[in-house]
A and B are shown apart, each in its own frame.
Chain A
Amino acid sequence: MTNMKKPSFNDTMLILVFAAAILAMPLWLDPFGGNYPDLLQKFAIYGIFAIGFNILFGLTGYLSFGHAAFLGVGSYAAVWSFKLLTMNAIPAVIFGVLFAGLLAAIIGFLSLRRTGIYFSILTLAFAQMSYNLAYSVLTPITNGETGLQLARSDPRILDKLFSDGPASAGLPSTELFGETMSGYPGFYFCAVLLIIGFYISLRIFRSPFGLMLKGIKSNQNRMKYTGLNTRPYMLTAFIISGMYAGLAGSLLAVTDPLAGAERMQWTASGEVVLMTILGGAGTLVGPMLGAGLIKYFENIFSSFDDSVLQQAFSFLPDSVLEIVVPVVGLFVGSGWHLTLGLLFMIIVIFLPGGLVEGFRRIFNYFTSGGGKAETQSVEAHNQAGE
């Protein structure tokens, strides 16, 4: 909880610490084997996705199962911007956010007429429709199963306008005013956008608008009784959340200019839900934490195979080794989803507030025992709302 007397000081500190932690990720992730650009980019991109999802789910309690659609639209819009206009990343990001926001406005306008599970099913239905259409009828736009790719023959109007030299051999790569958007520059581009996104989300959490959304979460009916029309607030939150997803999608295309329909499948929507819950829905840093953890596990665990395990457990006697390696092997490599599922169940069962609540409990355990009960009751109250 923020110290209410001087919130601005605390928030400034928070954003500074956050920015420092994100920008220094290549340094402090090095000992964990997480320091390579691909993974760092994913941390930042999925962090944005989860932060955006949290603005909807964490603040209003509306569980959307269709956010992958916005991610996909963002990617497609960005790749089309690369194909038609320029390889510069800025227009791609802008188009990604715009189109995702547009789609979110349409889907949100219809879905927000219902609440609870009906809302979840409606968003799921819309996302699945987008996914199925992207695979079938919209093939001219989405290139179907192959996925949308760059080609040498693309028009790229703006690029042609400013450079008259012959195009270099091979495909052009995405850039930001001359800086290639792969590797570490790509990560820092995503990281800066993540910090901006985090700052906006922080401002939303602290604003009267954010309080209104929290009010809708704890009791929508009571909000309505006070004479407030909750629909515009919900719709705004939904669109903002969709725009974050579009931003994440366009960044996926910036770091790797390829867009496939599988990004829109409902399992991708499920993934962002997992990230948000794992970290702690409704908290500021939780979703980012969850996104980082899941992407880290995905990369690290799925790269383990039996030979790595043989080495890791080589201190054991052979007879034990023969039992241990296949059993552990179930949980890593291609079976890392099993670990994910188990981890996820454990979190939901024992720690519904996610990792952030876990840290808070540990923190309270080591500090005063008196404040513990109070914070937890507040926490429980926050979690109880649907």
Chain B
Amino acid sequence: MDAIFIQILNGLDKGAAYALIALGLTLVFGTLGIVNFAHGALFMLGAFCAVTFQKIITISVKVRDEGVTAFVAYKEQPYLETWFGDTGRIIIDYSVPLSIILAIPLMLLVGYVMERGLIKHFYKRPHAEQILVTFGLAIVIQEIIKAYFGANPIPQAAPEILAGSANVGSWVGLGDNLVYPWWRLIYLCFSGIVIFAVFAFLQFTTYGMVVRAGMRDRETVGLLGINIERRFTVVFAIAAIVAGVAGVMYTPILPPDYHLGMEFLVLSFVVVVVGGMGSLGGAVLAGFLLGIVQSFASMNEVKDIFPGIDQIILYLVAVVILLVLPRGLMGRAGVMDD
């Protein structure tokens, strides 16, 4: 029981990342009809927003180290600490969650520029060409990041208070040795909030209602005098923000490097297709489902029976679902049925 519970938890946090990326991917597909291979790069850009933010707030000055009395020693002290004392120290400690403040406007800008500058011209082109041009863009973004930040992963620390593990077992009455890192728990809650926010935006606001109407039939919505293209641009920017903040919050779990996006992209495409192209609920469901399936497959007991199953399980599930349910778990008829 303990083992199953912990595997579900383990699966959920990975699944949360898949779900967040896949949500943006399928949102863009459902609205703009674009297969965006650069979406993983947006996730990676988000992660590097956290790196940049941390670099900015820890710009340091050399000061005399008072702690060492035997000789004259110097240490690096961030300006923030010099100016604000303890408050500055706390800000630096919380750099990862705070970098969301930087990530949101930046990703909004990136998403907007990308959509207006490039994606706009590809609405009517075949899917193969969309895949190819966004694939090229992903390479470009990736290489630029590599040129500035180097090829090595850059670890980011979670706030000190969240560094340990939560005693999850005792909360649900399953024994005390059932622990789970705090930050992963936070990530889980965070992704829940983001997913809820996106759904609420689409479901409960007039703006979202128009967007949903546009997903169904963009021509009719356009004939009603609504500038649907502009709304879709906003949707693209929202998808970019979702991917970006997902990347920011993932940095303490996995140190970001320049090809982080590509690794997640392949899997999140599998997630989107399993969930059904253009289906938001399907993407979220498939994301969590595949995350949990993967974590169960990496249990030693399972690996003993099927060696190597943990390596291929996601693709295996994807293949089976695609062959049995051509439209994925929750895909609508008429989407990508060519």
The answer to whether A and B assemble together is: yes
Interface residues of A (CB under 8 A from B): 61, 63, 110, 113-118, 120-122, 124-126, 128-129, 132-133, 135-138, 266-267, 270, 273-274, 277, 330, 335, 337-338, 340-342, 344-345, 348-349, 352, 384, 386
Interface majority SS (helix, strand, loop, mixed), chain B? helix
Contact between B133 and A349, CB atoms less than 8 A apart: yes
Q: Which B residues are CB-close (under 8 A) to A277?
A: 132
Once the chains bind, are A341 and B143 in contact (CB under 8 Å)?
A: yes
Known contacts A115-B338, A266-B266; is A133 also within 8 Å of B132 by CB? no
- In the assembled complex, which residues on chain B have CB atoms less than 8 Å from the CB atom of A348? 129, 132-133, 136
The answer to whether B311 touches A135, judged by C-beta atoms less than 8 angstroms apart, is yes
Contact in complex: A335, B129 (CB < 8 Å): no
Q: In the complex, which residues of chain A have a beta carbon less than 8 angstroms from the beta carbon of B132?
A: 273-274, 277, 344, 348
Cross-chain contact of A338 among B139, B312, B319 (Cβ < 8 A):
B139
- 10 tightest A-B CB contacts, nearest first: A137-B308, A341-B139, A132-B311, A338-B143, A125-B315, A345-B136, A344-B136, A341-B140, A348-B133, A129-B312
A341 to B273, CA, bound (A): 26
Indicate whether A133 sits within 8 Å of B308 (C-beta atoms), given known contacts A330-B147, A348-B136, A352-B129.
Answer: yes
Per-residue 0/1 for B312-332: is the Cβ within 8 Å of any A Cβ (1 yes, 0 no)?
A: 100110110011001000000
Question: Is B311 a contact of A133 with CB atoms below 8 Å?
Answer: yes
CB contacts (< 8 Å) of B125 on chain A: these are 352
A44 CA / B143 CA spacing, docked (Å): 28
Contact with B143, one of A121, A270, A335 (Cβ below 8 angstroms): A335
Q: Min CB distance, B254 to chain A, in Å?
A: 18
- Chain A residue with minimal CB distance to B318? A125
A121 touches B269 (CB 8 A): yes
Q: Is A121 a contact partner of B322 (Cβ separation < 8 A)?
A: yes
Tell me if B154 counts as interface (CB < 8 A to partner A).
no
Interface members, chain B 60-91 (any A CB < 8 Å): none
Known: A116-B338, A349-B121. 10 other contacts (CB 8 A): A122-B319, A129-B311, A129-B315, A129-B316, A135-B311, A270-B135, A340-B139, A344-B136, A349-B118, A352-B129
**A331 CA to B77 CA, complexed, in Å:** 36
Question: Counting CB contacts under 8 A, is B163 at the interface?
Answer: no
Task: Identify which of residues 274-302 in chain B touch chain A, using a CB-to-CB cut-off of 8 Å.
Answer: 277
Q: Which residues of B contact A133 (CB under 8 A)?
A: 308, 311-312
Instruction: State which of B128, B139, B266, B312 has its C-beta within 8 Å of the C-beta of A61.
Output: B128
Residue B216 interfacial (CB < 8 Å): no
Q: Closest chain A residue to B312 by CB distance? A: A129
Chain A, Cβ-Cβ closest to B140: A341
List of B residues within 8 angstroms of A349 by Cβ: 118, 121, 133
Q: Within 8 Å of chain A (Cβ to Cβ): is B213?
A: no
Q: Find chain A residues with CB under 8 A from B323 CB.
A: 110, 113-114, 122
Chain A residues, Cβ within 8 Å of B311: 129, 132-133, 135-137
Instruction: Determine whether B127 belongs to the interface, using a CB cutoff of 8 Å to chain A.
Output: yes
Rounded to whole angstroms, the CA-CA distance of A352 and B127 in the bound complex is 13
In the complex, the answer to whether A121 meets B270 with C-beta atoms within 8 Å is: yes
Residues A132 and B312 in contact in the complex (CB < 8 Å), given A341-B136, A345-B136: yes
Which B residue sits closest to A342, measured CB to CB? B140
B27 proximity list for chain A (CB < 8 A): none
CB pair B136–A118 under 8 Å, yes or no, is no
Task: Tell me the bound Cα distance from A116 to B143 in angstroms.
Answer: 29
Give A267's nearest chain B residue, CB to CB: B262
* Residues in B whose Cβ lies below 8 Å from that of A114: 322-323, 326
Residues of B within 8 A of A63 (CB): 128, 131
Q: List 13 A-B contacts (CB under 8 A).
A: A61-B128, A114-B323, A117-B336, A120-B131, A121-B273, A128-B312, A136-B311, A273-B132, A341-B137, A344-B135, A348-B129, A349-B133, A386-B126
B133 touches A121 (CB 8 A): no
- Complexed CA–CA distance, A342 and B127 (Å): 19
B175 lies within 8 A of chain A by Cβ: no
A297 to chain B, nearest CB (A): 13
A117, A126, A267, A274: the one contacting B127 at CB < 8 Å is A117
